[in-house]
């Protein structure tokens, strides 16, 4: 599985730790930055990771900022991205099973390395259940289509 990862300055340290763990676990990881803890703008990284996932070049995306919320808002502006911020196992599991989320956003302010790694592993291991949920996800996709 190929994973796109990115972070702003607030998420830089946690992103680096997650990137290393993912690589050690055998995932192919594409790092879209940032490459330092210097102040930067989270929408730039959310857009890069979002496009990578939406265009099918990576299977899933991971974004890290202070809360995970800004990254989710920015990534969801990219057509085809279903980004979700999550802080616990239930949120991660349900956002994959029910919403077919393809990007997970994490808040470095609230998660330590081990907890974040556990959430990422759950996100990558959980499959979309389809069924009635597929109809709803299809409606999400149509929301971004141009209106006549």
Q: Of the residues 9, 40, 98, 133, which is catalytic?
A: 98
40 is catalytic: no
Buried b (16+ CB within 10 A) or exposed e, 76-97: bebeebbbbbbbeeebbbbbbb
98 is catalytic: yes
**Contact between 30 and 2 (Cβ < 8 Å):** yes
Q: With H, G, I as helix, E, B as strand and everything else as coil, classify residue 52.
A: helix
**Contact between 53 and 5 (Cβ < 8 Å):** no
Active site amino acids: 65, 98
């Amino acid at each position: 599985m190929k994973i796109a990862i990115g972070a702003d300055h607030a998420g830089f340290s946690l992103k680096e730790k997650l990137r290393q763990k993912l690589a050690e676990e055998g995932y192919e990881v594409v790092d879209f930055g940032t490459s330092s803890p210097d102040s930067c703008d989270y929408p730039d990284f959310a857009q890069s990771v979002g496009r990578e996932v939406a265009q099918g070049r990576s299977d899933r995306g991971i974004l890290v900022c202070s809360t995970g919320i800004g990254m989710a808002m920015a990534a969801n502006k990219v057509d085809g991205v279903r980004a979700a911020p999550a802080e616990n196992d239930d949120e991660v599991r349900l956002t994959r099973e029910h919403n077919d989320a393809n990007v997970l956003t994490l808040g470095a302010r609230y998660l330590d390395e081990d907890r974040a790694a556990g959430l990422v592993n759950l996100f990558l291991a959980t499959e979309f259940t389809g069924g009635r949920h597929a109809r709803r996800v299809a409606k999400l996709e149509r929301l971004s289509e141009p209106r006549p």
